[in-house]
């Protein structure tokens, strides 16, 4: 057993906060052994955990000292077992109670676990009183590193929530993205917030861009509290109305929504980008599109093909796009990262990788969306809307738009291939046909004839090709 993390000087509120955070990440088959003397807070922890899992349906959670076992259902259909084995006289009694089966299929919290004999790879949570401070505990998490190592983050999360006044919040996982970041929604009465759990020391760019955007009246989420050393941010909750969801539920709103997206970019591009962001010039675009040649052709049986793509893109950027001053590009500007707020400005998410780049870059990102079809008439209308609002040369802008669309989409093909083969995330392969169709439209622009030539002979992502990628 390995010591995974500790939480020192935990009062009753911080102990319960840790339980609520843990309730957000445990799953069926997880066993927690609660160790500590009488009065150490084992039942207090279990009660907070169970009530957090149950949410609005929370029941009373009495101590199971006399019943030995109490069971509870949460709204997701998971059964939670709360056991107190103090009165067990022999480990075989676990079988009579049904705990052996529960430990395979349910979430099980066990007080006095040593009375039940060896447990199947449990997380051991120890509560140890601190001398001279009877109301405080030192909480330790221990277990096998492969199974429980990821929980090392939980005490730091609990400390941040406790310090920020969110100790009583229920913590609910939110869908993640292709990165390693995790997100949780906190609810406490009529308040809500979002917790970003990133890698330690990696939130500086996000914080810097948040401050830059909000200072210019763009609606990035307000930072409510932070532990940047641990990579934790507590953010304003902009709600669930992702543009992607609104478009799916109310497709008739698409013209109005895409108008708002284009107008946001027009406003954003009036501001000189900050000096600290990466400059996405021709050389950098070429370097990044190298992911395509590195991953996609070898995966589809065409190793060595596409080797000239990066060089051609750098050359074409010099010819078609280098004459325009760079603007701030949010880089992941699409329907999954924007919040629809009706007449209020769009909410902006996921902008920590912002760059200084040609103005067409984010327009391409929003209109050639890998995750959903965009009506070609909407794409054409929004390009025209941007040109009219900014006064740029229409022919040159459209050529640059096609180039940056091809570059972005080729890079995405490489990223999706890498996600499937290296990171075991094959779900993005389903988007490949849409991305490839956008590439074909882009390289049909007469100015991109050299790029079309460089891509000759590379198989398109048919179902058979996608299956080959998935098999690795």
- 198 in Cβ contact with 218 (< 8 Å): no
Structure confidence at residue 176 (pLDDT): 60
- Do 178 and 76 sit in the same domain of this protein? no
Partners of 6 in beta bridges: 140
Is residue 163 domain-resident? no
Residue 235 parent element (H or E) = strand 232-236
Average pLDDT of the residues in 370-378: 96
- Do 197 and 254 sit in the same domain of this protein? no
Q: Which domain, by its residues, includes 79? A: 2-144
Is residue 165 domain-resident? no
pTM confidence score: 0.87
Q: What are the tens digits of pLDDT across the range 231-290?
A: 999 999 999 999 999 999 999 999 999 999 999 999 999 999 999 999 999 999 999 999
Is residue 150 domain-resident? no
How far lies 153's CA from each of 14, 45, 149, 207, in Å? Answer: 15, 18, 9, 20
- Do 360 and 278 sit in the same domain of this protein? yes
Which CATH number belongs to the domain containing residue 453 in this structure? Answer: 3.90.1200.10
Q: Judging by beta carbons within 10 Å of its beta carbon (0-12, 13-18, 19+), is residue 381 exposed, middle or buried?
A: middle
Mark which of 216, 236, 256 sits at the end of a domain: 236
What integer best gives the mean pLDDT of the chain? 94
Separation CA 446–CA 57 (nearest Å): 62
Which CATH number belongs to the domain containing residue 120 in this structure? Answer: 3.40.50.300
Structure confidence at residue 60 (pLDDT): 87
Phi-psi category of 98—alpha, beta or left, where left has phi over 0 and alpha has psi -120 to 50? Answer: left
3-state secondary structure of 468: helix
Asked if pLDDT for residue 441 goes beyond 60, the answer is: yes
Structure confidence at residue 117 (pLDDT): 81
- Do 88 and 139 sit in the same domain of this protein? yes
Cβ contacts of 312 within 8 Å, gap of 6 or more = 450, 451, 454
Q: What are the tens digits of pLDDT across the range 101-122?
A: 999 999 999 999 988 888 899 9
Mark which of 203, 236, 269 sits at the end of a domain: 236
Structure confidence at residue 175 (pLDDT): 74
The number of domains in the chain is 3
- 117 in Cβ contact with 155 (< 8 Å): no
Asked if pLDDT for residue 100 goes beyond 90, the answer is: no
Residue 3 parent element (H or E) = strand 2-10
- Do 310 and 424 sit in the same domain of this protein? yes
Q: What are the tens digits of pLDDT across the range 178-214?
A: 567 899 999 999 999 999 999 999 999 999 999 999 9
Structure confidence at residue 99 (pLDDT): 85
- 18 in Cβ contact with 158 (< 8 Å): yes
- Do 352 and 436 sit in the same domain of this protein? yes
- Do 197 and 118 sit in the same domain of this protein? no
Asked if pLDDT for residue 145 goes beyond 90, the answer is: yes
Which CATH number belongs to the domain containing residue 223 in this structure? Answer: 3.30.200.20
Is residue 152 domain-resident? no
Separation CA 208–CA 206 (nearest Å): 5
- Do 198 and 139 sit in the same domain of this protein? no
Model confidence band, residue 89 (pLDDT cutoffs 50, 70, 90): confident
Separation CA 261–CA 374 (nearest Å): 13
Q: Do β-strands 347-348 and 338-339 pair in parallel, antiparallel, or remain unpaired?
A: antiparallel
Model confidence band, residue 177 (pLDDT cutoffs 50, 70, 90): low
- Do 212 and 298 sit in the same domain of this protein? no
Average pLDDT of the residues in 78-92: 87
Separation CA 130–CA 40 (nearest Å): 10
Is residue 15 domain-resident? yes
Is residue 157 domain-resident? no
Is residue 153 domain-resident? no
Q: What are the tens digits of pLDDT across the range 2-56?
A: 999 999 999 999 999 999 999 999 999 999 999 999 989 999 999 999 999 998 8
In 3D space, the residue among 241, 94, 74, 104 whose CA is nearest the CA of residue 172 turns out to be: 74
Is residue 224 domain-resident? yes
CB-CB neighbours of 56 under 10 Å: 7
- Do 221 and 249 sit in the same domain of this protein? no
Asked if pLDDT for residue 92 goes beyond 80, the answer is: no
Q: What are the tens digits of pLDDT across the range 302-337?
A: 999 999 999 999 999 999 999 999 999 999 999 999
Structure confidence at residue 178 (pLDDT): 53
- Do 67 and 129 sit in the same domain of this protein? yes
- 74 in Cβ contact with 106 (< 8 Å): no
- Do 228 and 252 sit in the same domain of this protein? no
């Amino acid at each position: 057993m390995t010591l995974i993390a500790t939480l020192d000087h935990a009062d009753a509120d911080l102990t319960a906060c840790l339980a609520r955070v843990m309730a957000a990440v445990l799953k069926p088959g997880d066993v927690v052994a609660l160790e500590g003397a009488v009065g150490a807070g084992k039942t207090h922890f279990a009660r907070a955990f169970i009530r957090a899992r149950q949410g609005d349906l929370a029941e009373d959670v009495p101590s199971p000292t006399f019943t030995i076992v109490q069971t509870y259902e949460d709204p997701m259909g998971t059964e939670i077992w709360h056991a107190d084995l103090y009165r067990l006289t022999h480990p075989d009694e676990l079988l009579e109670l049904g705990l052996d089966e529960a430990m395979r299929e349910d979430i099980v919290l066990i007080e006095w676990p040593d009375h039940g004999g060896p447990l199947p790879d449990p997380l051991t949570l120890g509560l140890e009183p601190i001398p001279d401070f009877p109301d405080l505990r030192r909480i330790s998490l221990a277990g096998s590193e492969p199974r429980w190592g990821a929980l090392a983050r939980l005490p730091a999360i609990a400390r941040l929530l406790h310090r920020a006044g969110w100790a009583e919040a229920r913590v609910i996982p939110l869908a993640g993205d292709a990165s390693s970041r995790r997100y949780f929604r906190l609810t406490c009465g009529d308040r809500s917030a979002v917790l970003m759990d990133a890698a330690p020391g990696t939130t500086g760019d996000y914080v810097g861009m948040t401050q830059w955007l909000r200072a210019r009246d763009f609606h990035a989420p307000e930072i409510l509290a932070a532990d940047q050393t641990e990579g934790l941010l507590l953010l304003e909750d902009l709600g669930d109305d992702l543009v992607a969801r609104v478009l799916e539920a109310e497709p008739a709103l698409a013209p109005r929504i895409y108008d708002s997206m284009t107008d946001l970019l027009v406003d954003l591009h009036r501001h000189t980008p900050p000096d600290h962001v990466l400059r996405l010039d021709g050389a950098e675009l070429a370097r990044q599109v190298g992911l395509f040649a590195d991953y996609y052709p070898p995966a589809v049986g065409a190793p060595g093909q596409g080797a000239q793509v990066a060089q051609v893109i750098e050359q074409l950027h010099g010819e078609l796009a280098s004459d325009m001053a760079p603007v701030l590009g949010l880089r992941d500007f699409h329907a999954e990262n924007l919040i629809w707020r009706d007449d209020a400005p769009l909410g902006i998410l996921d902008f920590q990788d912002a760059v200084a780049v040609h103005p067409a870059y984010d327009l391409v990102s929003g209109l050639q969306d890998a995750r959903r079809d965009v009506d070609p008439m909407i794409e054409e209308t929004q390009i025209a809307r941007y040109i009219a609002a900014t006064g740029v040369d229409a022919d040159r802008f459209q050529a640059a738009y096609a180039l940056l669309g091809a570059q972005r989409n080729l890079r995405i093909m490489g990223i999706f291939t890498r996600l499937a083969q290296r990171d075991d995330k094959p779900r993005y392969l389903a988007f490949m046909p849409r991305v490839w169709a956008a590439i074909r439209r882009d390289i049909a622009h007469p100015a991109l004839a050299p790029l079309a030539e460089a891509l000759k002979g590379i198989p398109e992502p048919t179902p058979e090709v996608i299956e080959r990628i998935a098999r690795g």
